Amino acid sequence: MTVTAEPAATPTTSVFHGVEETDDNRWYLIDDLRLISASTVAGIISKDALTRWAAKLAAEAAFAELPVVVIASRIKPCGNTGSKCAGEGGHDTQERCDRCPCLECKACMTRWLASRHTDHTRRRADEGTRTHDVAEWWSLHGEIRPYDADITPYVKAFQAFTVEYGLTPDDFLVSEAIVVNRADGYAGTTDGVLIIRADRTDAAAKLVSRVTGIPWKQAKKRGITVVLVIDFKTREGEGPQFYAPQALQLTAYRHAKTIRIKGTDIEQPMIPTDGGMLVQLRPDGFTARLVLTDEDTYRSGFLPALATALWVFEQGPASISSRTFVLPETLAARRRKAEREAAEAAVAPQTITHPAA
């Protein structure tokens, strides 16, 4: 088994194409505003199933590498487990120095086991991003672009989804666009706004029927359509599994005020929609699931989560900081120092520069 050193525990921040990301949150930098991501807001809600999943990955890794774990349990901590010598600001992650984690002691092995879900999540996020890129390319160009073999099951599931509902690229009114709500203070990237036409397939007619309440055969005969904001989700396991926070994310997208074309500053009013739909892509197929994205879900579900997320990331750290309640004499000392520096600057001799003769 090869144990690789984990990234430093301290959050890292990166800004790319107007998006600021740290290890656990994302912000959109639009005009002079810093808007929290709708996905970050949805993620603030605890998911007990994910906690159990993370523990399961650690347990499976421990059993898979049991001999190595037993050996590590007898090795005293090296003292470098949390070292930040590699990576950003240090030497290359492939290099080794005296301050690097040994990767063999009890502390290093414990850290490795505890990070199994983090590594797995990064890999899954990368697979999801590449699958989204393929779907977006199809919606823009009408063809499946070349893709890596490891995402083949998800691409096949996406193709099955388009066939099941009789979709064409023209049915994507927008794809991968940024939605913005300046008034409530958030933004996000929707996978698309899609029109479903009842006269295309029986599945499309039945979906339209669920949204409109019109019997599906009648909806198909009349060619009724609905417009839905959608979000593609990839799932490695078999069988559908959805989480309530995913509905909050879609609700935020649907209730945005404006939509910005990807890669541009062109902004227009949000496209009116009839609802929201999650499309889960899995190795064993796909599931298209309508979710509640109405006004009540927005007011009672998303906005409270938004307020909580803003507090957690902006006010939360100060609530437990030793610097929040400063001793009065400390404040007075700072004030006296500022006054003294201002007075010294006022009486300092001025240097006059004469123009060259």
Write down the domain spans for the chain.
14-45+131-315, 46-114
Taking CA 151 as the corner, what is the angle to CA 145 and CA 157, rounded to the nearest 5 degrees?
A: 85
Tokens of 273: 């929609």
Tokens of 331: 């404040």
Question: What average pLDDT does this structure show over 208-223?
Answer: 97
Q: Reply yes or no on whether the pLDDT at 354 is more than 60.
A: no
Return the pLDDT at 95: 74
Question: What average pLDDT does this structure show over 206-211?
Answer: 97
Spatial contact of 283 and 153, defined as CB atoms under 8 Å apart: yes
The span from the CA of 230 to the CA of 232, in Å, is 7
Return the closest-CA partner of residue 179 out of 30, 9, 346.
30
Dihedrals phi, psi of 126, to nearest 5 degrees: -65, -40
Return the pLDDT at 5: 47
Tokens of 184: 């409530």
Give the containing element (helix H, strand E) for 193.
strand 186-197
Spatial contact of 228 and 194, defined as CB atoms under 8 Å apart: yes
Supply the pTM of this predicted model: 0.77
Spatial contact of 278 and 230, defined as CB atoms under 8 Å apart: yes
Return the pLDDT at 206: 97
The span from the CA of 115 to the CA of 97, in Å, is 22
Q: What is the pLDDT of residues 72-124, one digit of tens each?
A: 888 888 888 877 776 666 677 677 787 888 888 888 888 888 887 777 777 77
Which residue did the predictor score with more confidence, 247 or 344? 247
Tokens of 136: 């977006």
CA dihedral 164, 127, 38, 270 (to 10 degrees): -50
Return the pLDDT at 230: 96
- DSSP assignment letter at 146: P
- Highest mean pLDDT pick, 69-78, 120-129, 209-218: 209-218
The span from the CA of 18 to the CA of 29, in Å, is 5
Which residue did the predictor score with more confidence, 58 or 161? 161
- DSSP assignment letter at 151: G
Calculate what percentage of the chain has a pLDDT beyond 90: 50
Topology at the third CATH level for domain 14-45+131-315: Lambda Exonuclease; Chain A (3.90.320)
- DSSP assignment letter at 75: S
Question: What average pLDDT does this structure show over 187-194?
Answer: 94
